[in-house]
Chains A and B, each alone.
Chain A
Amino acid sequence: GIQVEQSPPDLILQEGANSTLRCNFSDSVNNLQWFHQNPWGQLINLFYIPSGTKQNGRLSATTVATERYSLLYISSSQTTDSGVYFCAGVNYGGATNKLIFGTGTLLAVQP
């Protein structure tokens, strides 16, 4: 099945720093979502971004579907950005929109 790899696996930032998280797919995906899982386990939907670029405040994301990757940019990081970031893509192998999750990037933002 489709493989989703994220890099880096772990990242430590000082508050105020910028970062880029990457998501690579082994095969074509038709849709892509980025999530932030906070320390309490809640999954926050950041972006639904099958292609192109979107921005929401300090976060932005770019998906290049033809090259099978997506990037999540975090600018001016804050301690509340800490947690695990997942990307997930839909593999249309069947009749439903089955999301395949990436391996995750664990981000720790230090004050």
Chain B
Amino acid sequence: GAVVSQHPSWVICKSGTSVKIECRSLDFQATTMFWYRQFPKQSLMLMATSNEGSKATYEQGVEKDKFLINHASLTLSTLTVTSAHPEDSSFYICSASSGPSNQPQHFGDGTRLSIL
């Protein structure tokens, strides 16, 4: 149980385009979803936290207009990287939690984004 599906797993696109990444909880309702970013040989850094039906909470230094997050249902959250540039190239991972803050987070397989 507790499966999180993330799609796509790999994206290569031109500078200036927008890229949407989907994160779905397949067998549980995800009250809260999280988006992380990981640069090579570094740890995961939380970008934002989203609760179903409300606006996402962004971490300090993360541009909310650049990284649009939508959490419209209890099983789906999306991250859209708008007007992507080469410096946005990274590994993006989502996670989902079923609710109370003492519940573990379950992670998707990540999306490797390369902007040319």
Contacts and interface: CB of A to CB of B under 8 A. Distances in A.
Same complex for A and B? Answer yes
Interface of A: 30-31, 33, 35, 40-43, 45, 48, 50, 86, 88, 90, 92, 94-104
Contacts, number: 59
A97 B91 contact: no
Given A97-B32, A97-B103, 7 more contacts: A30-B102, A50-B102, A86-B44, A92-B101, A96-B32, A97-B97, A99-B34
| Residue among A95, A98, A104 facing the most chain B CB atoms (10 A cut-off) | A98
B43 A96 contact: no
A48 B51 CA distance: 22
A93 B104 CA distance: 17
B107 to A, nearest CB: 4
Contact of A41 (B32, B45, B109): B109
B93 interface: yes
A101 B34 CA distance: 13
A41 B110 contact: yes
B89 interface: no
Q: Is the interface of A mostly helix, strand, loop or mixed?
A: loop
Contacts of A95: 101
Nearest to B41: A106
Contacts of A92: 101
Given A41-B109, A41-B112, A86-B44, A98 B49 contact: yes
A90 B101 contact: yes
A102 B46 contact: no
B82 interface: no
Contacts of B105: 33, 97, 99
Interface string B4-45: 000000000000000000000000000010100010000111
From A40, A43, A90, A94, name the one whose CB has the most chain B CB atoms within 10 angstroms.
A43
Contacts of A100: 46
B104 A103 contact: no
Contacts of B93: 41, 43
A45 B46 CA distance: 17
